[in-house]
């Protein structure tokens, strides 16, 4: 197959986001917009992938490199338009055959199939192929002037006359060319337009003027939606969530209220999992089969073993590992801790930097005191342990297999296996003293 390189144009300022954070680092489903685009591009299996950024875009480049350190970068020092940005990637197109596709970086909903559709057009022998769409409101978009399969020109909205603005087919976000056609015509770009910029879209008429042929393909509006404002970011989030809900339902996951369930970009859930309403998944979650996640739970960076029950109102934080048939109940928080097979942590409990053995029962109100103000410490609880309600386990501490800890204990020393630990003040009863205290209190009140 001919070489197919993709260049992401990511040097835009994004001022309409009204944010100190670079636009492409704003997140959709827990991942920066640029990460979604990079993943979609990589899944189309290009020969190479490059990104054009501003010179000081260190955070953006770091986010991209975290996905694939082999991705190349170019800098656009002066913001002179998309055509100028494409010129900055000259090493990609200055020699050889094959194809190069340029894609605008603020389109997080693109799919691998979108890139493949463009690639197929080029492999059919066209010198260029452009992605188009038919928006409900075409205002502001460049119009595709076509004749049959031929794309004659792309006219930017600000440069279009009234007749051209009546065209409903608009430029989306991918323009691809044969390397040969692009390098022969790129020098013809001029900035004599309303914006005073070098438009990449002008490559269509320049290549045609040299005898080349350009075509187009059409994608759904929800796939090519760009993000320039907070409102558009929210729309992109909603579209991504709808996609994920469909994916989950098709994979055999039960969503009792799909519209109130939110997924991250990398959520992995096996079949026969039931998810009740108002559950939120952050990044890094993997759920095995036959799990029930009850309402109003928040889960991130966690692995949930098969047959487990989580929630309602549970929070699993990064590093939470639940083995098969574990139970984590209402108002329980688990962080950087393992819960063994069949273990139960069901009520009003915090387990952090700890491990809990198989079949252990942790009573309501138990906390692992893992932080001393400077460092985190580990709590080790063995198998078949019973931890009474309202117990504080002051780490570092270990509890042996089969031990029993009395309710209300503050455990500061290791507990041997099979031991009974009572670590609380001895109860004292003073007969009739309650009446004496009430009488004294009433006398003070007068």
Q: Which residues are catalytically annotated?
A: 347
- Taking CA atoms, 123 is separated from 2, 116, 176, 184, in Å, by 8, 10, 11, 19
60 contacts 34 by C-beta, under 8 angstroms: yes
Query: 47 φ, ψ to 5°?
Result: -65, -40
- Nearby residues of 322 by Cβ (< 8 Å), 6 or more positions away: 302, 303, 304, 305, 308, 310, 316, 328, 334, 338, 339
- Taking CA atoms, 4 is separated from 67, 92, 339, 436, in Å, by 20, 10, 48, 90
Cα(112)–Cα(149) distance, rounded to whole angstroms? 23
Residue 396, preceding bond cis, omega within 30 degrees?
Answer: yes
């Amino acid at each position: 197959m001919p070489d197919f390189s993709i260049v992401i144009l990511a040097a835009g300022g994004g001022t309409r986001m009204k944010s100190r954070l670079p636009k492409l680092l704003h997140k959709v489903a827990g991942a920066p917009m640029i990460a979604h685009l990079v993943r979609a591009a990589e899944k189309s299996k290009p020969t190479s992938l490059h990104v054009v950024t501003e010179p000081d875009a260190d955070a953006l480049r770091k986010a991209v490199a975290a996905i694939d350190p082999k991705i190349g970068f170019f800098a656009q020092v002066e913001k002179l338009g998309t055509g100028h940005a494409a010129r900055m990637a000259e090493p990609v197109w200055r020699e050889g055959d094959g194809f190069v596709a340029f894609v605008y970086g603020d389109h997080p909903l693109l799919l691998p199939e979108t890139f493949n559709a463009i690639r197929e057009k080029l492999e059919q022998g066209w010198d260029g192929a452009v992605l188009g769409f038919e928006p409900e409101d075409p205002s502001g978009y460049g119009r595709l002037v076509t004749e049959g399969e031929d794309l004659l020109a792309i006219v930017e909205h600000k440069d279009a006359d009234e007749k051209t603005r009546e065209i409903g087919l608009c430029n989306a976000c991918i323009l691809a060319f044969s390397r040969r056609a692009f390098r022969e015509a790129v020098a013809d770009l001029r900035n004599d337009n309303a914006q005073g910029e070098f438009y990449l879209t002008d490559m269509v008429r320049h290549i045609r003027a040299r005898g080349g042929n350009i075509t187009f393909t059409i994608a759904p509006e929800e796939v090519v939606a760009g993000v320039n404002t907070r409102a558009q970011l929210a729309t992109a989030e909603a579209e991504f969530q709808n996609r994920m809900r469909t994916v989950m339902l098709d994979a055999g996951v039960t969503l009792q209220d799909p519209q109130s369930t939110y997924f991250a970009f990398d959520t992995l859930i096996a079949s026969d999992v039931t998810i009740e309403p108002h559950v939120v998944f952050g990044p890094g979650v993997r759920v095995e089969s036959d799990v029930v996640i009850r309402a109003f739970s928040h889960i991130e960076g966690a692995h949930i073993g098969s047959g487990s029950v989580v929630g309602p109102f549970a929070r699993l934080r990064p590093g939470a590992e639940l083995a098969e048939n574990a139970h984590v109940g209402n108002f329980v928080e688990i962080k950087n801790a393992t819960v063994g097979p069949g273990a139960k942590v069901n009520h009003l409990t915090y387990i952090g930097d700890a491990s809990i053995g198989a079949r252990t029962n942790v009573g309501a109100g138990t906390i692992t005191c893992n932080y001393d103000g400077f460092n985190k410490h580990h709590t080790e609880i063995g198998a078949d342990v019973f931890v009474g309600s309202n117990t504080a386990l002051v780490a570092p501490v270990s509890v042996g297999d089969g031990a029993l800890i009395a309710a209300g204990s503050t455990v500061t020393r290791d507990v041997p296996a099979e031991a009974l630990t009572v670590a609380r003040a001895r109860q004292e009863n003073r007969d009739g003293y309650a009446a004496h205290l009430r009488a004294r209190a009433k006398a003070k009140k007068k």
